[in-house]
């Protein structure tokens, strides 16, 4: 029997005792008109909670820790979106790949579970170029992992990560992000297609500028008639503090002020228009609705 990296890691201590745990990806399929959207698990991140909490005022931070039971480590899920329409298999982001952290990088296993191989992917659309969204672009030999796919990214996001000055001007803790992004984007620089805010990048898919988390972050509204879903990426980065207190700054955003303004705007739109969402770091498979709750919002899984 051949075991993938995910299946090997899933053995854990149970595997040492001789019991193989089953591979059970978090996954959900949603129909939007003739489109099928599938949430595919790339695993999860393991991050110090301080990365999110440090910019929050101390009293508010202590209150949030108690309210949401936040410990020293956060383990948000990573939910990659697959959109299938006719003959096209479109990925929104490509996960972390094997180099970022051991708890993530399992997109190929999730694709395999639904009968798709890397060669079957026809299009890749990037929300932004952080490692957990981009580094799965290439394999261990720096060859493109999805060789038949065309690639699309927002012009502003591309310009930022391919600018040689970014490595010197980015926050010191994100230097490896810049190095890794530049290396991977160089592999597609001759074939990349760019888009801007409001562009219909594919039939029924419109780009929505959601800057702040990164300089050119994009969300995407998938629409068929009156049916729609918003692919959030990281413009709303979690299902607790970001919703209950959207105006609070978070250290996961590169521009914290702009990130907060973007969250407020996006939350107002999706709740007013009652658009379901697929969030990269929302709990479970990331599919659900966001509704108003007091002065903030809350995430309801499922639609």
Number of domains forming the structure of the chain: 1
Per-residue pLDDT of the chain (303 residues; tens, 9 = 90+): 333 544 434 333 233 333 333 434 557 899 999 999 999 999 999 999 999 999 999 999 999 999 999 999 999 999 999 999 988 999 999 999 999 999 999 999 999 999 999 999 999 999 999 999 999 999 988 999 999 999 999 999 999 999 999 999 999 999 999 999 999 999 999 999 999 999 999 999 999 999 999 999 999 999 999 999 999 999 999 999 999 999 999 999 999 999 999 999 999 999 999 999 999 999 999 999 999 999 999 999 987
The conformation of residue 103, written as its DSSP 8-state character, comes to: T
Q: What is the spatial distance between Cα 114 and Cα 220, in angstroms, rounded to a whole number?
A: 23
Q: What is the spatial distance between Cα 244 and Cα 64, in angstroms, rounded to a whole number?
A: 9
Phi, psi of 102 (to 5 degrees): -70, -20
- Owning domain of residue 140: 5-301
List the CATH number of the domain containing 51: 3.60.15.10
Work out whether strand 73-74 and strand 47-48 pair parallel, antiparallel, or are unpaired. Answer: antiparallel
């Amino acid at each position: 029997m051949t075991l993938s990296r995910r299946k090997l890691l899933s053995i854990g201590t149970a595997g040492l005792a001789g019991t193989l745990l089953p591979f059970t990806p978090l996954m959900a399929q949603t129909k939007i008109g003739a489109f099928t959207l599938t949430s595919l698990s790339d695993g999860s991140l393991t991050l110090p909670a301080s990365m999110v909490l440090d910019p929050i005022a101390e009293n508010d931070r202590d209150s949030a820790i108690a309210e949401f039971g936040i410990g020293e480590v956060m383990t948000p899920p990573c939910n990659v979106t697959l959109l299938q329409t006719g003959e096209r298999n479109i990925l929104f982001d490509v996960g972390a790949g094997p180099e970022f952290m051991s708890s993530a990088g399992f997109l190929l296993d999730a694709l395999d579970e639904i009968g798709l191989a890397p060669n079957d992917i026809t299009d890749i659309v990037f929300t932004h170029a952080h490692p957990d969204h981009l580094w799965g672009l290439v394999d261990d030999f720096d060859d493109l992992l999805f060789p038949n796919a065309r690639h699309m990214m927002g012009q502003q996001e591309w310009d930022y990560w391919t600018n040689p000055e970014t490595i010197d001007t980015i926050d010191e803790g994100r230097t490896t992000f810049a190095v890794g992004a530049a290396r991977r984007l160089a592999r597609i620089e001759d074939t990349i297609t760019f888009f801007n805010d409001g562009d219909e990048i594919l039939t029924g898919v419109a780009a929505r500028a959601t800057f702040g988390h990164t300089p050119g972050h994009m969300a995407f509204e998938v629409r068929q008639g009156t049916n729609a879903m918003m692919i959030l990426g990281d413009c709303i980065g979690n299902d607790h503090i970001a919703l209950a207190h959207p105006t609070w700054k978070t250290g996961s955003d590169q521009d914290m002020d702009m990130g907060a303004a973007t969250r407020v705007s996006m939350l107002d739109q999706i709740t007013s228009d009652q658009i379901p969402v697929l969030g990269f770091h929302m709990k479970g498979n990331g599919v659900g609705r966001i509704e108003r709750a007091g002065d903030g919002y809350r995430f309801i899984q499922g639609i």
